[in-house]
Structure 1
């Protein structure tokens, strides 16, 4: 019996597998220093350590919950791989129904059931044994049985190991390329108002009011908008939905987002929801130089003692930290971009009040107009988050041949807006 034949893939069982999975994942660091992407991928040779040029690496802490990144999805799958009695690999997938960014003949949104594959890890001592392939094959089959029509994954362009595995071996197609925009949380609060922006009011919307607003704004004009958006907005991890409007509009009662006519919304507005990813998992930078750590400590201390100077200080990312995710970003009207900046500063100040929250993040379509209003640091952000997709079941036309129009993978983008579900981040 070969080593590959000794690999067994099965469903994750929390009561017996949690400790083993956590121990294995501690060996698999996440980030550009080793993987170049969000998730570790088997089959990539580990770089030899060079003590003269030691690089910082990002580590992920699931805080004792291996299901943390899929637990809040409508349905999910988690599989583990064992070599003998040793845990050597893991993979996860969340399953949900999302929009395709277009309407049907009756003007209703077109939906598809998709599986988002994430969290693929293989023990460093068991790579190049085909474990990753076994895990991907198994999770695709599980998702197919659950009715998923498509599967997709996300990684950075530089993560060649991940891209080669999914595109070359499993026929995934590079599909969409949203941008991840990261703003560090400074010690000083940010002023909400920007120069040239008229008096502004920020309204907090209840989930009952936010849901019809989001359905109106995104259900037919964006891809990956979740059909169960109400569950996302009502989840305790959603800290609130906020709308910024000129104060002159906020004092009137003639607009209502539940109305379908053009008078249902103010002429200029921006909307955003905040997801507390800090309570899902945490990150930590390890391996940074002593000089880098000292510089961060100095800038942070100076910012805390002299907040009026507005020093763009870096938070202490060398200890476990969390992030807030801004999702559902949308703006309309001439003041829209400025109102988006106002909401982003509000999210920053909320994160500043939460100990251990080090960054505010947004992921938006690369050509989404709202991107212009999202403040971020280029060195912490990346322009292209590669989303690769595969059709799990082949659609056919009336003649029994392949229906390219029905195949989302083959279709041209119908919109610049990609809705990023915070449960998958």
Structure 2
């Protein structure tokens, strides 16, 4: 490197500012395109020794990966929170207009901690929590400290709005992301949700005649969840608004048609369906040509001979949408069977949307509902890692949280982990 290039490098600076729709939209869309990432969509830049390959991915089998692509509104994953921001990093010479080379999103919301307090009565403990997501750094500007500066600024923005904790999601195999957040910023891995996906076929899934599926109006659904999600972690304080949101296609209750045996407790199952086809697309890459051809042949056979009911796989090698199931609960001896019927009902709802090719759910690994959800291993993953950090004065100079009773990083997991579909 010559002396002139060294001098120029010393004059370069990183500037972080809020996203401006008119000024930054095209650059951020191009950045998203160059950084296709895994299902929860977060990545770290190459400063931290991570792979140079853009983004992160979930490996299914040798040669195959599942990617996510954000579409439409750049604020889609945070817009529904009371406070949210998108920060853009510019890199250029001091005093001049820089190039947009990085971006991060953040939002602040109030959620349940999954703990109870017993003074006069038992109740959910709430916490104001920040969520950092959508970290992108241009592949040509890695190892310059851009991701570090973006995270610092995002944390400061969230702390100024009263967030007591910050969370982020990555995968166990993403060494770069873990090095940045857990290593440099003191985040502690503390929850491991599982992603369960099932393809949507052309043929309706069978719901047993003995099961009845009812759609609950949002106020009744909110009352039901209020009774069933305590104690639970990350239930949003604005759950009634989520249930009434235009992208929540319905909350469904499954019960038995026949009168239950009086010697057994009644059984039921409950879930809600969120339409994510408008905000993201998934895509399978790296499949062998023979596999692509065989799946295309199965689709062709199914179209021309539907009476054979061939379970042909949708064309997942092109971008496709998904419906997300959330709030999955069940009770009673027949609860698992009723929950499976609800998942089949959600599959049949998804058949009405040509853009939807997969129905999926995120659940805590120890949640009994996880074992009852129909899924295909090729569309499922158990690599997700949620990390948390205590913000503000409780953290020491190295960014590590203290050891007092309010330290969420050391709290045992609650029975239920609620995954908000608005931030998927």
**C-alpha distance in structure 1 between counterparts of 2:20 and 2:308, whole Å:** 52
Matched, 1:23 2:45: no
Residue 73 of structure 1: how far off its partner (Å): 2.1
**C-alpha distance in structure 2 between counterparts of 1:221 and 1:309, whole Å:** 47
**C-alpha distance in structure 2 between counterparts of 1:74 and 1:301, whole Å:** 47
Higher deviation after alignment, 303-312 or 371-380: 303-312
Residue 424 of structure 1: how far off its partner (Å): 1.1
Q: Find the counterpart in structure 2 of residue 253 from structure 1.
A: none
Q: 2:177 aligns with which of 159, 162, 170?
A: 162
Residue 381 of structure 1: how far off its partner (Å): 0.7
**C-alpha distance in structure 2 between counterparts of 1:191 and 1:334, whole Å:** 21
Deviations 1:29-74 (A, max 9, x none): 2139xxxx732321133249xxxxx955555443332111111222
**C-alpha distance in structure 1 between counterparts of 2:380 and 2:11, whole Å:** 39
Contact persistence 1:100–1:111 (CA under 8 A): yes
Contact persistence 2:72–2:279 (CA under 8 A): no
Q: Find the counterpart in structure 1 of residue 44 from structure 2.
A: 41
**C-alpha distance in structure 2 between counterparts of 1:71 and 1:29, whole Å:** 21
Contact persistence 1:173–1:409 (CA under 8 A): yes
Residue 310 of structure 1: how far off its partner (Å): 4.2
CA distance 1:47–1:207, shift in 2 (3 Å): closer
TM-score (norm 1): 0.86
Matched, 1:408 2:408: yes
Matched, 1:103 2:111: no
Q: Find the counterpart in structure 1 of residue 422 from structure 2.
A: 423
Q: Find the counterpart in structure 2 of residue 374 from structure 1.
A: 373
**C-alpha distance in structure 1 between counterparts of 2:278 and 2:212, whole Å:** 29
Deviations 1:53-104 (A, max 9, x none): x955555443332111111222212101111331100001121111011211
Q: Find the counterpart in structure 1 of residue 132 from structure 2.
A: 117
Alignment of 1:85-234 (within 5 A): 85-105=98-118, 106-193=121-208, 199-218=210-229, 220-234=230-244
Q: 2:17 aligns with which of 10, 17, 20?
A: 10
Residue 158 of structure 1: how far off its partner (Å): 1.1
Q: Find the counterpart in structure 2 of residue 254 from structure 1.
A: none
Matched, 1:304 2:315: no
Contact persistence 1:327–1:362 (CA under 8 A): yes
Matched, 1:75 2:74: no
**C-alpha distance in structure 2 between counterparts of 1:366 and 1:93, whole Å:** 26
CA distance 1:5–1:389, shift in 2 (3 Å): farther
Deviations 1:207-238 (A, max 9, x none): 011011111111x2210011100110111000
The 3-state SS of whatever aligns with 2:312 is: coil
Number of positions where the alignment pairs a residue of Structure 1 with one of Structure 2: 391
TM-score (norm 2): 0.87
The 3-state SS of whatever aligns with 1:213 is: helix
**C-alpha distance in structure 2 between counterparts of 1:395 and 1:146, whole Å:** 16
Higher deviation after alignment, 290-299 or 321-330: 290-299
Contact persistence 1:242–1:343 (CA under 8 A): yes
Residue 309 of structure 1: how far off its partner (Å): 4.0
CA distance 1:311–1:338, shift in 2 (3 Å): same
Contact persistence 1:404–1:410 (CA under 8 A): no
Contact persistence 1:89–1:132 (CA under 8 A): yes
CA distance 1:411–1:287, shift in 2 (3 Å): closer
Deviations 1:131-174 (A, max 9, x none): 11111111011000111111111111111111111111111101
CA RMSD, 1 decimal? 2.3
Contact persistence 2:36–2:69 (CA under 8 A): no
Residue 391 of structure 1: how far off its partner (Å): 0.6
CA distance 1:335–1:3, shift in 2 (3 Å): farther
Contact persistence 2:129–2:167 (CA under 8 A): yes
Contact persistence 2:41–2:68 (CA under 8 A): no
Deviations 1:271-313 (A, max 9, x none): 0000000012222334544333222211222233444544332
